[in-house]
Chains A and B, each alone.
Chain A
Amino acid sequence: MEGLVTKTDRLAPRPAVSLSSRTQPPGGGAVGGERRRVPAAKRPVLSAPRRPARLRRAAEFLLEKILFLHGMAAILLIALIFVFLFREALQALHRIPLDLWWGGTDTDWDGKAVFVQRWQPNGDVPKYSLVPLVLGSLLVAVPAVVIAGLIGLATGIYLAEIASRRVRDLIKPIIELLAGIPTIVIGFFCLVTLATLLQGIFHTRSRLNAVVGAVGVSFVIIPVIASLVDDTLRAVPGYLREASYAMGATRWETISRVVVPAGVSGVTAALILGMGRALGETMIVLLATGNASQVTFNPFESVRTMTATIAAELGSVPQGGDWYASLFLVGAVLFTITFALNLVAEIVVSRMRRKLAL
């Protein structure tokens, strides 16, 4: 028995051959081919085991524990991020009165006190209103998801339902290339080229505005949405399509009334994930949205997002102060929103998996 185990111990590390052997006719031929490739020195020895079994079992046990610890790394890191973000954020909540996060009073030119919603932690009277930052983030993220949703959904449908294998092999790498362009490059492109282009079309007051950022951000999330929609629709079982065609429906009717409705939860999940990515995007909005924090609902105005605020201010803030802590609070808000969006998307996807019994 011991000898047998040792033998497999030596035989096991040669699986590449056993894969290729599957293509060969069954029988002795495959084994013979395998033997020839093994150098004489490495040929299995049928003598006494190299190590006592107990030692090997102990090593196996230890290895499993080590692997387990590495497996826990992702969980540990998420927990650490949570702890270190919210530790500072709670400090901020503790030190800064709650109503200041909504808005504060300021004196206008006549010396009268007025209510303002501004993010201005460096003023004589620091203002910590989160309203302009959250609005800014939404003004970028919502148009970005609309643009990327349209393009990504159409591309996903085209890839899954219409494109031939050759066209698919052409478009897929292009999407991956787009996903691989660093966001700073897209941000730079938006800042220098796209902003001028869009101003020429829309004649906006400020060259850098939320729409420029939104178009830039949509470039980042188009690949996310397109490949998720593609995956979802390819998972829709073929018999649904066949039933539809058998009833005399055209391809477009099959897509729009059978396939997409069947995969609607996957499509929703793709849009939710895209929203999360859009809210978290930093470098593009930092370069392309103009960075003026103001309360506005006009996407053609300059805005300042939560991410851009952290990126622009954290480097120049003294550690440990109110301002520093308040930036961690902005980060905590951002983290909570994206975490919730990811969670919802995951639940939607797993529900769809169960429904389609995959």
Chain B
Amino acid sequence: MSSAVRRRLDRLATVLLGLVAFSILGIVLGILGDIFLKGRRTVTWEFLTQIPLDGMTRGGVFPAIFGTVCIVVLMIMMALPLGVLAAIYMVEYAGQGRIARVIRAAVNNLAGVPSIVFGLFGLGFFVLFVGRNLDRVTGRDLLFGQPAMLWAAATLAVLVLPVVIVSTAEALMAVPRSLREAAFALGATRWQVVRGVVLPQAWSGILTGAILSVSRGAGETAPILFTGCAYYLPRLPVVRLTVPLLGIQVPMVNPLDQFMELSYHIFIMATQSHNTMLTRPIQYGTTLVLVGLTFTLNLVAILARRRLSRRVVKA
């Protein structure tokens, strides 16, 4: 090949690769733009604050928003402590040994498990095994052993656990070794090094991971299909608890109740409702709300991470 042909081929390849890379921007804009343009008109203040009306052909999605927020809060309350402590053990204690390798392999495999398998597992383990046995032990008829917010959140927590562990481990490993060595040289114990030296440096990275997991959990549908989602609930999953001494009633989220959820709401409105064409604006509106929620969370996480990496580079 003559050098002119080779140079032209080189230029062509560069341009083509660049075009393909930027086509991803096209995909993102295509999906988000479609959702935004068609859902924009539906999403009003009333849509966000009302309950579904007239057999879910009018009204808003407030119960679904409420349920989504409740379930991801419950989920991250379970997944964050477990995942952070697991990552601390993996990075700071297990080192490069065989146990660390096995844990890492387990985490990777857990991350690769299909989301619908988590749904099967949630139903078989949390609802039917843990729940039914709790009922038997406490002598109740059917309190724990049925789909509920608690079990859905637990299932989602298992799903996002790898995300929490991996991002925490990355944050921990980004802390320079010299800092640890300095602390050890001063006589600090391992836990003192972790708590006093490593964690303060890694917090923002861990929080970024937590935000990403919340966003992931808010968007997942398959794991909660059988573990707690409700097609339609006329009330919020809230109970009134009486404070023992003061005698006042306080509303509290009831984790043993079923709930409505945004992604599940999109699914049933788009496939199960009796007139899917009629409710299309509601479907677009709900999708836009979900996209807005996860998009905001992701943007925060991406910006936080970028800021973080810049700071680490400077240091």
Q: Does B218 contact A (CB under 8 A)?
A: yes
* Cα distance A56–B197 in the bound complex, in angstroms: 18
Closest to B297 in A: A180
**Chain B residues with CB below 8 A from A70, complex form:** 82, 85-86, 88-89
Q: Select which of B16, B109, B222, B295 is within 8 A of A78 by beta carbon.
A: B109
Q: Does A125 contact B (CB under 8 A)?
A: no
* Cα distance A311–B218 in the bound complex, in angstroms: 18
**Chain B residues with CB below 8 A from A342, complex form:** 108-109, 112
* Cα distance A4–B185 in the bound complex, in angstroms: 11
Q: Select which of B121, B187, B225 is within 8 A of A84 by beta carbon.
A: B121
* Cα distance A195–B31 in the bound complex, in angstroms: 13
Q: Does B117 contact A (CB under 8 A)?
A: yes
Q: Are B110 and A78 interface neighbours, CB within 8 A?
A: yes
Q: Are B219 and A19 interface neighbours, CB within 8 A?
A: no
Q: Does A15 contact B (CB under 8 A)?
A: yes
Q: Which residues between 10 and 50 of chain A lie within 8 Å of chain B, taking CB atoms?
A: 11-16, 18-20, 22-23
Q: Does B190 contact A (CB under 8 A)?
A: yes
Given contacts A158-B21, A184-B219, A331-B117, contact A315 B31 (CB under 8 A): no
* Cα distance A188–B221 in the bound complex, in angstroms: 12
Q: Which residues between 160 and 175 of chain B lie within 8 Å of chain A, taking CB atoms?
A: 161-162, 165
Closest to B264 in A: A184
**Chain A residues with CB below 8 A from B201, complex form:** 15-16, 19
Given contacts A73-B82, A184-B263, A252-B10, contact A334 B88 (CB under 8 A): no
Q: Does A145 contact B (CB under 8 A)?
A: no
**Chain A residues with CB below 8 A from B17, complex form:** 154-155, 157-158, 162
Q: Does A192 contact B (CB under 8 A)?
A: yes
Of the stretches A112-120, A199-207, A281-289, the one at the interface is: A281-289
* Cα distance A342–B114 in the bound complex, in angstroms: 11
Q: Are A71 and B103 interface neighbours, CB within 8 A?
A: yes
Q: Which residues between 5 and 47 of chain B lie within 8 Å of chain A, taking CB atoms?
A: 6-7, 9-10, 13-14, 16-18, 20-25, 27-28, 31-32, 34-35
Given contacts A70-B85, A253-B6, contact A339 B109 (CB under 8 A): yes
Interface string of A76-92 (1 = CB under 8 A from B): 01101100110110000
Given contacts A60-B189, A85-B117, contact A77 B94 (CB under 8 A): no
Q: Does A129 contact B (CB under 8 A)?
A: no
Q: Does A219 contact B (CB under 8 A)?
A: yes
Q: Does A346 contact B (CB under 8 A)?
A: yes
Q: Are B128 and A81 interface neighbours, CB within 8 A?
A: no
What's the nearest-Cβ distance from chain A to residue B222, in Å?
A: 4
* Cα distance A287–B301 in the bound complex, in angstroms: 29
Q: Does A68 contact B (CB under 8 A)?
A: yes
Interchain residue pairs with CB less than 8 A apart (12): A12-B188, A16-B200, A19-B179, A56-B189, A67-B89, A74-B107, A182-B219, A184-B266, A286-B271, A310-B119, A311-B225, A334-B117
**What residues of chain A have their CB less than 8 Å away from a CB belonging to chain B?**
4-5, 8-9, 11-16, 18-20, 22-23, 56, 59-60, 63-64, 66-68, 70-75, 77-78, 80-81, 84-85, 87-88, 150-151, 154-155, 157-159, 162-163, 169, 171, 173-178, 180-189, 191-193, 219, 222, 226, 250-253, 255-256, 273, 276-277, 279-283, 286-287, 307, 310-311, 314-315, 319, 327-328, 331, 334-335, 338-339, 341-343, 346
With A77-B106, A184-B266 already in contact, 10 other A-B pairs whose C-beta atoms are closer than 8 Å = A9-B188, A18-B179, A73-B161, A85-B120, A159-B21, A181-B31, A181-B295, A182-B263, A183-B219, A307-B116
